[in-house]
Amino acid sequence: MINISVKGYLFRELKAELKREADLKVLKTKVKVMKKLAELTPVDTGEAQRGWRVVNDAIVNEVEHIEELNNGSSQQAPKRFIERALLTDVVVRPNGIMVKVKR
C-alpha cells in the first residue's frame, strides 16, 4: 500500500506544472501536424502552403483556394489530402469534423 500526502500548495504547483507540460506536448503535436500538412499542400505560388497556422485549438488554413486544392484541383496531391494526412498520422485521433470550410 502506498499512502501519499501532499500539502495543498505543493499539489497545486505539481498540477500546474503537469498542465504546462501537457499543453506544450499538445502544441508540439499541432505544429508537427501543421508542418506535415504544409509539406503535402500542392505548390504553385506557395500561398496555400504558407497559409497553415495553429490558432487556439485548431490548425487552420484561411487561403481562399485551399478547399479547391483539397477537392483535387491540383495533380500534385490527391483529393482529400488533408483528411488523408490526418488519418495516417499515428498521433492524431479525429473525434468529429476534421475539415470545416468557412463560407
Q: What tens digit of pLDDT does each residue of 16-28 get?
A: 999 999 999 989 9
Q: Report d(CA 58, CA 54) in Å as an integer.
A: 6
Other C-beta atoms lying within 10 Å of the C-beta of residue 61: 22
Q: Is residue 2 part of a domain?
A: no
Q: How many domains does the chain have?
A: 1
Residue span of the structural domain in which 35 resides: 27-103
C-alpha cell at 90: 499515428
Assigned domain for 84 exists: yes
* Model confidence pTM above 0.85: no
pLDDT of residue 53: 93
Cβ-based neighbours of 85, under 8 Å, separated by 6 or more: 33, 36, 37, 40
pLDDT digits (tens, 9 = 90+) for 44-103: 999 999 999 998 888 999 999 999 999 999 999 999 999 998 888 777 777 766 777 776
Residue 69's H or E segment, with its range, is helix 66-70
85 within some domain: yes
